[in-house]
A and B are shown apart, each in its own frame.
Chain A
Amino acid sequence: IAGITQAPTSQILAAGRRMTLRCTQDMRHNAMYWYRQDLGLGLRLIHYSNTAGTTGKGEVPDGYSVSRANTDDFPLTLASAVPSQTSVYFCASSVAGNNEQFFGPGTRLTVL
C-alpha cells in the first residue's frame, strides 16, 4: 500500500441496505476524515478521528457511523442507505489535525 486507499471504487446499493466503505492508510497519520462531495457543493465533513480510539462528528454525520480501532483503518458505515446518500466519498488523513490532508481516490456510491 502506498498512501491512502479506499474500497470499493464504486458501488450501486439498494435503499435500506447496510454498507461499509473502507479506508486504509500506511503513512502512520494520526488524523483521518470522511467527506462527501456533491455537485455544486464543497466537500462536507461527515466524521473525523484525531487519533486511534477517538472519533467525532462533522457537518453531516446523520445516517453514518465510523470506528477507529487502529491507526491505519477508518471504515465508514451506512446503517440503512437512502438515495440522498448518493455521492462521492473521500477519505483523507493528516499527520495531525493542523496539517495538510492527503486524500484517497474516492468511492462513488449510488443508492437506488
Chain B
Amino acid sequence: GQNIDQPTEMTATEGAIVQINCTYQTSGFNGLFWYQQHAGEAPTFLSYNVLDGLEEKGRFSSFLSRSKGYSYLLLKELQMKDSASYLCAVRDSNYQLIWGAGTKLIIKP
C-alpha cells in the first residue's frame, strides 16, 4: 500500500529552527509537496520538490532524497504565526496526491 509518515506533533520556540520530516512509500513518484494549514482553514502551498536536493524559499526550505523516500521541511526564525499543521503529499504514478496526516507545529514564546 501507499504510506506517508510524519510526526503527529512538534513543539518549538519562537526564533528557533525546526525540521519536520516526511517519509514515503508510494507506487511511483512524481514530486513531493508541502502545504501549510492553519486551524480551521484550507491548506496552502509551500513548496515542491521533484529532484534531489534543497529548495529554499525565504524562511522555509524543503529537502528531498528520492533514494531514501525522505523529505524534510525546515523552518527558520520561527514566528508565532507559523503555528499550524504541515502536510506532506506525494504525487504517485497516476499523478494523484497521497497525503500524510500532517504535523501540528506548536510555537512557544
Contacts and interface: CB of A to CB of B under 8 A. Distances in A.
Asked if chains A and B come from one complex, the reply is yes
24 contacts: A40-B101, A42-B4, A42-B98, A42-B99, A43-B87, A43-B97, A43-B99, A44-B99, A45-B97, A48-B96, A59-B96, A90-B43, A97-B95, A98-B30, A98-B91, A100-B45, A101-B45, A103-B42, A103-B43, A104-B42, A105-B41, A105-B42, A106-B41, A106-B42
A2 interface: no
B44 interface: yes
Interface string A85-99: 000001000000110
Contacts of B4: 42
Interface of B: 4, 30-31, 33, 41-45, 48, 87, 89, 91, 95-102
Interface of A is mostly: loop
B101 A98 contact: no
Contacts of B41: 105-106
Given A42-B87, A42-B102, A105-B42, 13 more contacts: A43-B87, A43-B99, A44-B99, A45-B97, A58-B96, A59-B96, A97-B95, A100-B45, A101-B45, A101-B97, A103-B42, A103-B43, A103-B44
